[in-house]
Structure 1
Amino acid sequence: GQIRFVEIERIAELKIADPAVRSMLARYARERAEDTFGVYVGNEVEGEVRPLAKPAPPAPIHSGPVHSGQR
């Protein structure tokens, strides 16, 4: 077999014959871009991807000045 390294962003352009491998690589690229990884739970026929952790809530945006408490 032949091994070829490609940029993660170019995975979708590859012509991969095996649908399971194609799906797994597409999911990896998406999860890496979103920084939210999951684990496949199931078998070769059916299953689901469960998140490893829930995404953190967005940080609050402060519109006023930030006070350090020092004078």
Structure 2
Amino acid sequence: MSKQVKQFHELISQNPSLVEKLKSASDRENFVELTVQLGAEYGYSFTPTEVEAYINRNMLILMRQFS
């Protein structure tokens, strides 16, 4: 798992506007793509596969945050 995905998630947790942007994702695939895109905008570099792995390991936390 990418350390950068974890760092980006920590940033998201402190930024309500990023949370709202990610809540707008229509499905999981769109959520992953949007996460990679927003991460790049904030200087992070990770792949969709790394985001998927992070989601799979942290599903309950993410469900609470984005539902």
- Is TM-score (shorter-chain normalized) higher than 0.5? no
Give the structure-2-normalised TM-score. Answer: 0.28
Q: Which has the higher contact order (CA 8 A, sep 6+)?
A: 2
Higher strand share: 1
